[in-house]
């Protein structure tokens, strides 16, 4: 999987593609892991929309804090693997020090494989849900939230077709939540956009809680994506911060959307 799948997309796929008969194998893995790490076993593992469920036998996945200490189930943190496995990455060619710093950082004790993703485990089932890349886990007034959680709340609104959430620095809360939203109808402007943004903030507040309300909501005709359909979040982060786009945009399918979203602030 390139990004976590939100529960709404999961249910749509399950109902419309699988006719509620075919299990969705929602996996966590990386090129570096050499294969699937956390995944349901088709027909054997009870499914939960948006969750990749449990590690495969022999995979000692865990969730830790910034110092490498385990966090209790129900609390979000950093996804790691505690023990080696046969297919794991061995080194980076010609740069073993970079390998150690990137995948076994001293900040976590130097012995935990850092996947680079945030995750949370269910209190009752122990199921893992991937929250997104660590960069996509927001810290708002001391509350850790995955961008996927906020995006899922937004797309649950009947007016919203698609949403992407990023963070930007904020003097009051540490990070502020910025949402880029595509509606199922024409893009609003002026007072209509202000009114709809307020409605969506309240919607998210009811779905998750007041702490999750986006501070900034911008409407666009679509989102900046690669030709393979992946949202280019690094560009959205720059837009949210008010920075000029200096990154490589050669893989961007729809360059004009950047100016539209910039003007939408």
Tell me the pLDDT tens digit for each residue of 13-22. Answer: 999 999 999 9
Confidence of residue 230 (pLDDT cuts 50, 70, 90): confident
Predicted pLDDT of residue 74: 86
Confidence of residue 76 (pLDDT cuts 50, 70, 90): confident
SS (H, E, C) the chain: CCCCCCHHHHHHHHHHCCCCCCCCCCCEEEHHHCEEEECCCCCCCCCCCCCCECECCCCCEEEECCCCCECCCCCCEEEEECCCCCCCCCCCCCCHHHHHHHHCCHHHCCCCEEEEEEEEECCCCCCEEEEEEHHHEEEECCEEEEHHHHHHHHHCCCCEEEEEEEEEEECCCEEEEEEEEEECCCCCCHHHHHHHHHHHHHHHHHHCCHHHCCCEEEECCCCCEECCCCECHHHHHHHHHCCCCCCCCCCECCCHHHHHHHHCC
In a domain, 1, yes or no: no
Whether pLDDT at 1 is above 60: no
pTM above 0.75, yes or no: no
What CATH code is carried by the domain that includes residue 75? 2.30.38.10
Predicted pLDDT of residue 265: 65
Predicted pLDDT of residue 37: 97
Enclosing domain of residue 77: 7-132
257 and 216, same structural domain? yes
98 and 39, same structural domain? yes
Instruction: Give residue-wise pLDDT tens across range 104-124.
Output: 999 999 999 999 998 889 999
Confidence of residue 79 (pLDDT cuts 50, 70, 90): very high
Domain count, the chain: 2
47 and 161, same structural domain? no
Instruction: Give residue-wise pLDDT tens across range 128-161.
Output: 998 878 877 788 888 878 888 899 899 989 999 9
Predicted pLDDT of residue 55: 98
148 and 128, same structural domain? no
150 and 126, same structural domain? no
Confidence of residue 248 (pLDDT cuts 50, 70, 90): confident
152 and 127, same structural domain? no
Predicted pLDDT of residue 2: 62
103 and 72, same structural domain? yes
Domain boundary among 132, 150, 175: 132
In a domain, 2, yes or no: no
Domain boundary among 132, 160, 186: 132
Looking at the DSSP bridge assignments, the partners of residue 121 are 128
149 and 127, same structural domain? no
Residue with the bigger pLDDT between 224 and 131: it is 224
156 and 99, same structural domain? no
248 and 210, same structural domain? yes
> What single-letter DSSP state applies at residue 264?
T
Domain boundary among 66, 101, 132: 132
Q: Taking the CB of residue 103, how many other CB atoms lie within 10 A of it? A: 19
221 and 195, same structural domain? yes
What CATH code is carried by the domain that includes residue 205? 3.30.300.30
163 and 251, same structural domain? yes
């Amino acid at each position: 999987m390139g990004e976590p799948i939100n529960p709404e997309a999961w249910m749509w796929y399950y109902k419309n593609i699988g006719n509620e008969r075919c299990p969705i194998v929602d996996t966590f893995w990386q090129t570096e892991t050499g294969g699937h790490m956390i995944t349901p076993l088709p027909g054997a593992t009870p499914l939960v929309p948006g969750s990749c469920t449990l590690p495969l036998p022999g995979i000692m996945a865990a969730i830790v804090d910034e110092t490498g200490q385990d966090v209790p189930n129900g609390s979000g943190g950093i996804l790691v693997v505690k023990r080696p496995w046969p297919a794991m990455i061995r080194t980076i060619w010609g740069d073993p020090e970079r390998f150690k710093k990137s995948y076994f950082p001293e900040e976590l004790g130097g012995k935990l494989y850092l996947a680079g993703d945030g995750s949370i485990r269910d209190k009752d089932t122990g199921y893992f849900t991937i929250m997104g890349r660590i960069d996509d886990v927001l810290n708002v007034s001391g509350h850790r939230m995955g961008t996927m959680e906020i995006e899922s709340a937004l797309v649950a609104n009947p007016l919203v077709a698609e949403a992407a959430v990023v963070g930007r620095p904020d003097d009051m809360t540490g990070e502020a939540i910025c949402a880029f939203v595509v509606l199922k109808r024409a893009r609003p402007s002026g007072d209509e956009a202000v009114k709809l943004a307020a409605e969506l903030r309240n919607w998210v507040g009811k779905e998750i809680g007041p702490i999750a309300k986006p501070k900034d909501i911008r409407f666009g005709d679509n989102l900046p994506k690669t030709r393979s359909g992946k949202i280019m979040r690094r560009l959205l982060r720059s837009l949210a911060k008010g920075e000029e786009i200096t990154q490589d945009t050669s893989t961007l399918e729809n360059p004009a959307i950047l100016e539209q979203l910039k003007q939408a602030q």
